[in-house]
Amino acid sequence: MVRASSPKVWYFALGVAFLIFVKIQPVQAAVIDDTFAGKQWYLGAIKAPQAWDITTGTQDVVVAVIDSGVDIDHPDLKDNIWVNPHEVADNGKDDDEDGLTDDVHGWNFVKNDGDVRPSMSSDGSKEAYFHGTAVASLIAAKGNDGIGIAGVAWNVKIMPLVVLGQDGYGQDGDIINAIRFAVAHGADIINLSFVGNDFNQGLDSAIREAAAQGVLVVSAAGNGTARAGDDLDLLPGYPACDKGVAGRGVLTVSSVNQAHQRSPYANHGSCVDLSAPGYDIFAARPVKDQKTGIAGSGYVDKLNGTSLSAPLVSGVAALLKAHHPEWGAIELAERLKDTTSSLPPGVTGLGSGIVDAAKALSDDAQTEMLGPLHLQAADQGQSPEIRVLSATGKELSHFFVGGGGDRRGLRAAFVRWTGNELPEIAVVYQDDPSGLWRIFSFDGLLLAAGNLGPIKDGLYLAAQDLDSQGADSLFMGETSGNRAWLVSRKNPVPTQITTLAQSMHGVVALSVSIPVPSFLVVPAVGSGRLTILGDSGKNLSNGSIKAPTAGSRWVVHRTRDTASDAIFDLSTDGARLVFSEDASGLELTKGDVEVTSWLQSPSGEPAGEGWREFEVWPR
């Protein structure tokens, strides 16, 4: 592999110039009928056939392939290419107002247009030409259709984002913009099959932000010298060693061969989280030779490289996301690392082991704890208790937060206070003029407490990781007043937010993730200004809402509709306002929105006798 010499240049991690011929172990023939299934030994190695008994993926899961061009017309890929739902093809307009015209299937950041297909370089660099297509096919080639190969996740969508040119090189700025495009346009997973040797703060920040917003980032460890690979602890590679939010939500993948030994060229070290086959790989390539115009077989064999290992992990992650759609980057990453198959004795530097799709998708005690978790608090007239339930209603945590004689009722919110895997819980009393707030661990240990008083009629709560550093800021807004505060473990003294309208009657917030972690703040009563608050309480944008009658109290919710767009629902007697698009414009949605459950309700939704539900985790 060639390493970049400039901090602004990157090279893909396909392989090295030598091959070792080994006997291929065919995948179980009865599982799929694709023409070249017998050449896909790696599917059996990662237990993909067993996982397919649970799911082969869904069209709701989107994997962004940030790479060279992808043959979107390839027979094995054409049905699984992402389509921008808000863009009209070939009309020369920026329909979705994202600053890009006709970004129907993604974007080519090298040529600055919507053509994401591969093009041959003048020097005939074949690796650059087929690299993106090969990567995409390992993730999502259509399976069991009688042609070609099967990807790990047959039915997920590929979002092609071109950052590597005809020679295989790319610029940091293009990669950063591609990551942000992927997040803003609804990608669930990002695959980065390239590596360089210079750290770039902007790229590190973009990866950190993506992970904070729930998008899993999978990176190749890179290929070093032909017989040894590089020790990333001595010679770090990037983005392989960019580790995201508090070291979570990002996976770096190295390569093993058929014997589960480290591939000779594969980089290794503490930056590596897990491994996957990346040796003697069979994959798709563009069907038509762009230089001669001659159609070929559309497939290529004997490929080597950690950039082929990474998409196998991205494919398993896509299956896992389809099976647990409520999980975010941290949950997906933790599950994949914790369910790997063991490496042979003496093999080190390859993370926790080899990705195992069957184990990852199996149900066990860990899957229950990763979510969804339902946070419930005692209503008025009940003793002050908190409980957390699993999706099946199993009680995972239950504790008291005050004296049994206190019957004021509680409000609560999940908050990532310490950065631990399990969320903590913020608690206030309803109608409490003292402004008492407390933070408890998942099992009820008091971690922090304070008092804002005097305040008007208690507080509303919300939490969000505003700076993408792995811990939340807690928002506290007066139930009837016009003041609000932010507090975090990093800044434990509550800071009053000064950018809110002074005319607000009650201050209620919802947690926003995309396009940036923030809060949507609205008045609890009547008409008023709608505000998006970012890091440190910065005012990012404003709007207004009008109540049908004076003094109407809004009931505010957050959910997701069937198209996976964020939805904010504000309802009161005689009116319902439904906003979509998260914080990127807050467009009024016309017509009814299908809601299966609320993800966040600062006032609490009735949840059985004496209980109210406030939030679902992951956020």
**pLDDT digit string, tens, across residues 522-534:** 999 988 888 889 9
The answer to whether the beta carbons of residues 266 and 232 sit under 8 Å apart is: no
Angle among Cα 341, 17, 223 to the nearest 5 degrees reads 45
Phi, psi of 323 (to 5 degrees): -75, -35
Residue 121 banded pLDDT, cuts 50, 70, 90: low
Q: What is the DSSP string of 386-437?
A: EEEE-TT--EEEEEE-S-TT--S-EEEEEE-SS--SS-EEEEEEBT-TT-EE
pTM for the whole thing? Answer: 0.91
Q: Average the pLDDT over 178-204 and give the result.
A: 94
Closest to 1 measured CA to CA, from 257, 193, 206:
193
What distance in Å separates the CA atoms of residue 61 and residue 155, rounded to the nearest whole number? 9
pLDDT of the residue at 125:
56
The mean predicted confidence, pLDDT, of the chain is 88
What distance in Å separates the CA atoms of residue 11 and residue 330, rounded to the nearest whole number? 27
Burial class of residue 594 (count of CB atoms within 10 Å of its CB; 0-12, 13-18, 19+):
exposed
* pLDDT > 80? residue 284: yes
pLDDT of the residue at 16:
36
pLDDT of the residue at 17:
30
* pLDDT > 80? residue 596: no
* pLDDT > 70? residue 94: yes
Residue 22 banded pLDDT, cuts 50, 70, 90: very low
Which pair of tokens denotes residue 242? 């960019």
Least confident among 3-17, 121-135, 187-201, 282-296: 3-17
* pLDDT > 90? residue 402: no
What distance in Å separates the CA atoms of residue 517 and residue 615, rounded to the nearest whole number? 17
**pLDDT digit string, tens, across residues 129-163:** 899 999 999 999 999 999 999 999 999 999 999 99
* pLDDT > 70? residue 30: no
Share of the chain above pLDDT 70, in %: 89
The DSSP element (H or E) to which 335 belongs, if any, is helix 329-338
Buried b (16+ CB within 10 A) or exposed e, 260-288: bebbbbbbbbebbbbbbbbbbbbbbbbbb
pLDDT of the residue at 581:
66
What distance in Å separates the CA atoms of residue 308 and residue 17, rounded to the nearest whole number? 15
What distance in Å separates the CA atoms of residue 398 and residue 387, rounded to the nearest whole number? 4
**pLDDT digit string, tens, across residues 200-248:** 999 999 999 999 999 999 999 999 876 789 999 999 999 999 998 878 8
Buried b (16+ CB within 10 A) or exposed e, 221-231: bbbbeeeebbe
Task: Quickly count: other Cβ atoms within 10 Å of residue 595's Cβ.
Answer: 15
What distance in Å separates the CA atoms of residue 177 and residue 161, rounded to the nearest whole number? 10
Share of the chain above pLDDT 90, in %: 66
pLDDT of the residue at 89:
87
* pLDDT > 70? residue 26: no
Q: Average the pLDDT over 572-600 and give the result.
A: 73
**600-606 and 611-617: which strand pairing?**
antiparallel
pLDDT of the residue at 15:
45
**pLDDT digit string, tens, across residues 453-511:** 899 889 999 999 999 888 999 999 999 999 999 999 999 999 999 988 888 899 999 99
Residue 6 banded pLDDT, cuts 50, 70, 90: very low
Centroid of chain to Cα 337: 16
Residue 582 banded pLDDT, cuts 50, 70, 90: low
**pLDDT digit string, tens, across residues 448-465:** 999 998 998 899 999 999
The β-bridge partners of 529 are: 544
pLDDT of the residue at 87:
84
Q: Average the pLDDT over 260-279 and give the result.
A: 95
The answer to whether the beta carbons of residues 138 and 311 sit under 8 Å apart is: yes
Which pair of tokens denotes residue 176? 């950063």
Question: Which amino acids are annotated catalytic?
Answer: 67, 131, 307
Report which of residues 85 and 611 the model is more confident about: 611
**pLDDT digit string, tens, across residues 290-345:** 665 656 679 999 999 999 999 999 999 999 999 999 999 999 999 999 999 999 99
Map out the domains of the chain with their CATH numbers: 34-367 (3.40.50.200), 372-617 (2.120.10.30)
Task: Quickly count: other Cβ atoms within 10 Å of residue 396's Cβ.
Answer: 15
pLDDT of the residue at 595:
73
Task: Report the SS3 class of residue 203.
Answer: helix
**pLDDT digit string, tens, across residues 540-581:** 888 888 888 888 888 889 887 655 567 788 888 777 788 876
pLDDT of the residue at 10:
46
